[in-house]
Structures are given as structure tokens and as C-alpha cells.
Structure 1
Amino acid sequence: MAALSELLPVAAVTVDAPAADWREAVRRAGDLMVATGAATDTYTAEMIENVERNGPYIVIAPGLAFAHARPSPAVLKTGMSWVRLARPVVFGHESNDPVELVVGLAAKDASEHTAAMGALARLLADQDTARALREAPTAQAVHDILRGGQEAGAPRQAAARGGGELHKILTVCGNGVGTSLFLKQTVEGVLDRWGWGRYVTVEATDTISAKGKANEAVAILTSREIARTLGDVGVPVKVVEDFTSAAEADRVLRDTYDV
């Protein structure tokens, strides 16, 4: 699997970029992925359409939007971009606006970027590192921080209990390859700290698939916008406001398991 610094080269990073509104902010993230050969302009339009169709669920933490769309022919190779805005813009999110950082993702499939997403989730969950990234003066400085913190190791895999079945938690977004995968990494980190990694598996998926898989899960974790889209699926649907926050994931998991 590709490392974070490979998917997010210096040429795909910009700081203090001007943007009049959220569409222009997403467009700037898309332009960088076009410039580095990850996607075409069509994919940029698909990212904007994703927000228009599903709402601002891509704003996964205060000040942070994770722009992406479904894998499509417009994605040439898996890649990412990093746009720190000169002035924050409003996406319409109830709690995480305004946005000052847009991370773009163009994914060829749902698995190639798993390790990179895990590394990024860990970096942004660390307050000191997140602050350093937001304050880095140049694209090279951002990339140096990302490269220094990308040691991800092998993707975590839960092992079944002897003679028993794993509990399953679904993390859900509109496309199943971006924000849901990011939340999966955060939730898995909490479960591993609890020592529950061998008992609970976390699967990232999209809204359509989640409705069919709900009966396999003990709970669904997602954004407020996606929770409204899902409606009643027969299992608890828990809203997470900050996908980078281990503390919030811990709270939601404790509520799920009543511990």
C-alpha cells in the first residue's frame, strides 16, 4: 500500500490559497490532483456534486473538510491534495464550520489508500502535530511533517474470539472510501487502546451498502447528515461530529457498549 507522502507529494500541497466559497476551495483541491496526474477536471466536478447531493458531511472536524467522490474513470491513480486556505470558508456544517483546511482524495478503489488514511488520522488526532500542520509556512514544511509521521505499519486486522463471532461496527459516508475510512481509523485506534481490537471489527462503507449490512452490525457511526439519509435501519446510528477526535470516538463507543 502507498505511503502518505507518496500519495500526497509536495506538488499537491498549497498554503494560504484564496477561495471565495466552498466550491472554489474544493476546486483548488481538485486542481492540485489534476496537476499531479491523479485525476481529471471531471473528478473535481464530481467532488463538488457529492457535497451538493449529500450535504457538508465531508467537514469531518472543526476547520477540516475531506473532499472526495466515488472511484470513477475520472480518477487516473490514487492521490491526495492539501489546501490550506488564506481565509476560512463556510460549507454549511452545523458544528465544524468554517473550514480552513481542505484535504482532497482521488481513490482508484476502496483499499489502496488504507495505510495512508491511517497515518493521516493519527497525525491529525495529535493536537501538537495538527497545529504544526496548520501553521507550517510552506508546502515543503507541510510535506516534511507528513513524511515524518507516516510510519503506519500493517493495517490492523481483528482476530476472532475463540469459538465466537466478532462484533461489527459500520462507519458510513456517501461513498465508502473517504470520510468513512477516516472515521474507521479513529475508531480502531480507540478499540486497540481498550484491548478490544480482537473482539470488534470496523468496516467502512457507503450509505446504500450500509442499509443492507445494518443487520450485521451492533451500531453505525457516521456524520449527522448521513445519519439523516440512513434513517431507521434497525440498529443504533451514532453521530460523530469530529472524526479526528479519539475522545469523541471513545465516548460514542462507551455509549454503544454501555461501559
Structure 2
Amino acid sequence: MTPLIDPKLIQLNVSAKDWRDAILKAGHPLVKNSLVTDNYLKSVIKIAEEMGPYIVFMPHVALSHAKIEDGALKDGIGLTVLKKPVPFHNKDNDPVKYIFTLSSTKANGHLDQMAQLVNLLSKNDFFEMVSHANNVQEIINYVNECEGEEK
């Protein structure tokens, strides 16, 4: 089974000047690893500008995503932990500290990824563990442990 989050797509202590910068920086590992194009990240920003900050779906957490045709090349989820939380102008869930960048190449493929992600986010200690992680491997170990519990 493919891991939910590839270690190459995790970033810790990232500085961002605003929400747009945060989306671009969070998506950088996905561009670098050919999961999405630069246009994909521009589309995320454009959609959020037009539709509002709906991508901030729970307190302190954004799910950065766009359509397949906007430049999704491979399936994957990245995780970026911001050094300092950034406002996305979502009055209920600001400021954002955690950004998951989602790329799905199948019409409803993101639903499977979302189900796995929601299961992970429902763990009581997930965000505390991520906030205190000293390195990417600690997060990967935790995620693998959680996936093992599901089987």
C-alpha cells in the first residue's frame, strides 16, 4: 500500500509571509517531485480568491487542492507545518499552521485520500505530535503506526 504521506513531501518550520506564499511554499515539494505543475498551485490561489477560504476546513488546517486539469500529474499528499500560523481570512478556523497539499489524478480519487486523511486528523494527538516533531521521520513513523492500526 502506498503511504498516505511521502516523506519527500513533508516540510517543517516553513516561514510564509501570507496565505498565498504559504500555498506556494506548501506545494513546492509536489512541484519538485513532479506530482503537480506550477499552474496547479496558481489555480489553488485563484480558486481561493474567487470562492473564499473554504480550503481551511478545520481549525488551523488548510487542504490545498485544485482540479486534475489544473496540473495534477500524480497522486499524493504533502504536509507543511508553518513556523508561525498565517491568516487565510477564515473567521472560524484561522490562523493556519498546517497545510496539506493534495494532488489526485482520478475523478474521485481524492475521496479515498480524504478518508485516510480525516482518519489521521481525528487522532487526538496528531497535531500535538506534528507540532513537536523534530524531524520528518517522527511524523512518518506516527502515520505508519496509524495506518497499521487500521488493518
For the criterion TM > 0.5, the same-fold answer is: yes
* 1:120 aligns to 2:117 (yes or no): yes
Contact 1:21 1:90 (8 Å CA) reproduced:
yes
Residue identity opposite 1:112 in structure 2: G
Give identity over the alignment, percent. Answer: 29
Counterparts of 1:16 and 1:39 in 2: how far apart (Å)? 22
Task: Give structure 2 stretches of 5+ with no counterpart.
Answer: none
Compute the displacement of 1:123 (Å): 1.6
Contact 1:123 1:130 (8 Å CA) reproduced:
no
Counterparts of 1:79 and 1:66 in 2: how far apart (Å)? 12
Equivalent positions of 1:1-259 (< 5 A) are 3=2, 5=3, 7-72=4-69, 74-151=71-148, 152=150
Count of aligned positions: 150
Q: Deviations over 1:14-71 (max 9, x none)?
A: 0000100000110012111111220111111111111111100110111101110111
Contact 1:13 1:143 (8 Å CA) reproduced:
no
Specify whether residues 12 and 94 from structure 1 end up closer, same or farther in structure 2 by C-alpha distance, changes over 3 A only.
same
SS in 2 for 1:127: coil
Compute the displacement of 1:119 (Å): 2.2
Specify whether residues 73 and 92 from structure 1 end up closer, same or farther in structure 2 by C-alpha distance, changes over 3 A only.
closer
Residue identity opposite 2:134 in structure 1: P
**Residue number in structure 2 paired with 1:197:** none
SS in 1 for 2:97: strand
SS in 1 for 2:69: coil
Counterparts of 1:107 and 1:96 in 2: how far apart (Å)? 25
Compute the displacement of 1:129 (Å): 2.5
Q: TM-score, normalising length from structure 2?
A: 0.90
Counterparts of 1:98 and 1:137 in 2: how far apart (Å)? 22
Q: TM-score, normalising length from structure 1?
A: 0.54
Residue identity opposite 1:35 in structure 2: K
Counterparts of 2:57 and 2:83 in 1: how far apart (Å)? 20
Q: Deviations over 1:196-243 (max 9, x none)?
A: xxxxxxxxxxxxxxxxxxxxxxxxxxxxxxxxxxxxxxxxxxxxxxxx
Residue identity opposite 2:12 in structure 1: V
Contact 1:39 1:76 (8 Å CA) reproduced:
yes
